Amino acid sequence: MQFVVGLALGLFFGVVVGSPSCPPDKNVPVKNGKAKDCTSSGRKGLESIAPLVRSMEETPEPISTEVHGTIPSWINGNLLRNGPGKFEFGKTHYNHWFDGMAMMHQFKITKGQVTYMSRFLRSDAYKKNSESDRIVMSEFGTLAMPDPCKNFFQRFLSRFVMMEPTDNASVNFVKYKGDYYVSTETNFMHKVDPENLETLEKVDWSKFIAVNGATAHPHFEPDGTTYNMGNSYGAKGALYNIIRVPPGKKDATETLEGAKVLCSIVPEDRGNPSYYHSFAMSENYVVFIEQPIKMNLLKIVTCKLRGKALSDGIYWDPNIETVFHLVDKRTGEVSSVKYHTKALSVFHQINAFEEDGFLMVDMCCSDDGQAINNYLIQNLRKSGEALDEVYNTLSRSYPRRFVFPLNVTNETPMDKNLNTRANSKATCVKVNKDKVFCQHEDLHRDDLQDYGGMEFPQINYSKYNTKPYRYFYGCGFRHLVGDSLIKMDLKDKTFKAWHLKGFYPSEPVFVPSPDAKEEDDGVILSVVLTPSQDKGTFLLVLDAKTFEELGRAKVPVNMAYGFHGVFESRN
């Protein structure tokens, strides 16, 4: 049942979560977060973003860019980005945004200059589809149809053949033992060369440990130890598994050698486990969030027989509480105490840290998890009122903090707020021996609604992951894709924003300056797309402290809107 995890395929649709709002009127970068109040319940007059979800041409050799302003000379490395870049083969086309073939991008920054290149991942899915000039491998929202050249009986029998899991790793760049991989959420990753974006090796997680895949959002310790999560499937149903990959290579040809399952967590309903895109990690704990976005394994197993895509097996159950599971990173012991909250959907955590006997988990989440069907290609290519209607059905994502008391015992009082942290509005109440019910604290003020909520959160990861922190960065979503960049300040919950009408920035990536003394000493890198301008793409560089533009490198190509990426430093 390895193919079951293939259904996730970068299911990062947390970008769709939050509440309709209106934008600031000014067509200039907004710096103080003081956008005007909204007076309508929905958004109208959205610009068409169809050019951002069309097939693109690769740029396999580095090309120069035109730099405007100043790109700091101390930035030395590659911004690596991943996302879908091809949405059809021959006369067949993908149905869902997440199905597009992985396209890798590299922005090489050296001494204030930038070059750009891109390549399609040479996955088996890409190669087989290209050879046949039609879609022959199913993806998350697209069921590959039988070969029309076969007779009726052969096409009928093909429905009974097990679906092959996709290796279209279109979600993120990840790093294990010093090597770079592109990843989705099936059991396959691809090792790539970050210098030329060549596809080097296909790696199967299941050959190293008993899991059927891993997320595209691992966490890293300072020594290079990597933590991840992956499901496994057996006769009794699913298990959630915490994975630990040691630093350093024991065998140069086997990057995942030494990986182990730290522990397994049993779902409440093993036939309908929860979908998860990522997880949280503090200094001593891995935090798994079991949310009410569910996977019906029977529907998934029979999807080909029923003529349905894998996405048909995903559903949202608002009647189920969200459960936080804490796992001791040293021992693998799963805490008997479970922390519950109301039904919510979460795709990206911001940070988690321990302080004064409490565990704080910060994440971007919403109160609805039904948005996936809105991200069909046909919806993203709509315009006018039809596009407005799609957007106004979406729920927004906002940054929230949950506070968990770590020392819950039989003597801990019931029906009392256990959160004694000063100035914290979060609550956590013990309701029985092993259950604490929690209510979050908002990490924002009302004015964030004017930016459509927030997603794609990033922090100064190398210095502040698992530690108390002050700043995080993300995208505002007043459209179906990010249309602004935001810097949140947890000290007073204010924010700064960069926004230009008609410009769509990607996930912000923080790069610390070499002599950094404060948390926000550095720059923010983001790739900005312009659907109304041909080849209007540019790499944006913001001062992370002031959030003012330092420079941009104009790239004479068109790009599709992508998902995630990393900065590979050469300092």
| Across 8-17, 161-170, 293-302, least confident range | 8-17
pLDDT score of 302 = 86
What's at 369, amino acid-wise? G
Is the model's pLDDT at 386 over the cut of 80?
Answer: yes
Q: How far is the CA of 501 from the CAs of 117, 295, 557, in angstroms?
A: 27, 38, 20
Q: How confident is the model at residue 307 (pLDDT cuts 50, 70, 90)?
A: confident
Q: How far is the CA of 207 from the CAs of 39, 139, 211, in angstroms?
A: 56, 22, 9
Under DSSP, the state recorded for 378 is: H
First to last CA, the chain: 43
Contact 473, 459 (CB under 8 A): yes
- Name the more confident of 250 and 18: 250
pLDDT score of 3 = 32
36-58 confidence digits (pLDDT tens)? 333 334 678 999 999 999 999 99
The SS3 call for residue 120 is strand
Q: How confident is the model at residue 61 (pLDDT cuts 50, 70, 90)?
A: very high
Euclidean distance between CA atoms 71 and 523, whole angstroms: 10
Under DSSP, the state recorded for 4 is: G
Q: How confident is the model at residue 148 (pLDDT cuts 50, 70, 90)?
A: low
Share of the chain above pLDDT 90, in %: 80
pLDDT score of 18 = 30
pLDDT score of 251 = 57
Is the model's pLDDT at 121 over the cut of 80?
Answer: yes
**Pick from 151, 195, 171: which is nearest to 81 by CA?**
171
Bridge partners of residue 406, in order along the sequence: none
Q: What is the mean pLDDT of the chain?
A: 89
DSSP code string of 297-366: HHHHHTHHHHT--GGGGEEE-TTSPEEEEEEETTT-PBPS-EEEESS-EEEEEEEEEEETTEEEEEEEEE
Is the model's pLDDT at 160 over the cut of 50?
Answer: no
Q: How confident is the model at residue 361 (pLDDT cuts 50, 70, 90)?
A: very high
Q: Pairing relation of β-strands 358-366 and 398-405?
A: antiparallel
Q: How far is the CA of 118 from the CAs of 91, 122, 196, 417, 563, in angstroms?
A: 25, 12, 9, 53, 15
Q: How confident is the model at residue 150 (pLDDT cuts 50, 70, 90)?
A: low
Euclidean distance between CA atoms 171 and 508, whole angstroms: 15
| Across 169-173, 246-250, 473-477, least confident range | 246-250
Task: Count CB atoms within 10 A of the CB of residue 370.
Answer: 17
User: Which burial class, exposed, middle or buried, applies to 161 when counting CB atoms under 10 A from its CB (0-12, 13-18, 19+)?
Assistant: exposed
Is the model's pLDDT at 26 over the cut of 80?
Answer: no
Is the model's pLDDT at 158 over the cut of 80?
Answer: no
Under DSSP, the state recorded for 18 is: B
Which backbone phi and psi does 5 adopt, to 5 degrees? Answer: -70, -20
What's at 241, amino acid-wise? N
Residue 178: left (phi > 0), alpha (psi -120 to 50), or beta?
A: left
Is the model's pLDDT at 93 over the cut of 90?
Answer: yes
Residues 147/149/151/157 CA torsion (nearest 10 deg):
-20
pLDDT score of 375 = 87
Euclidean distance between CA atoms 541 and 15, whole angstroms: 22
pLDDT score of 252 = 55
Contact 324, 376 (CB under 8 A): no
Which backbone phi and psi does 375 adopt, to 5 degrees? Answer: -95, 30
Euclidean distance between CA atoms 553 and 539, whole angstroms: 5
Q: How confident is the model at residue 25 (pLDDT cuts 50, 70, 90)?
A: very low
Euclidean distance between CA atoms 63 and 97, whole angstroms: 28
pLDDT, average across residues 459-476: 98
241-245: long-range pairs with CB below 8 Å, 24+: 241/209, 241/210, 241/211, 241/265, 242/286, 242/288, 242/327, 242/332, 243/209, 243/211, 243/214, 244/329, 245/176, 245/177, 245/218
CA atoms within 13 A on the CB side of 222: 8
Euclidean distance between CA atoms 107 and 565, whole angstroms: 11
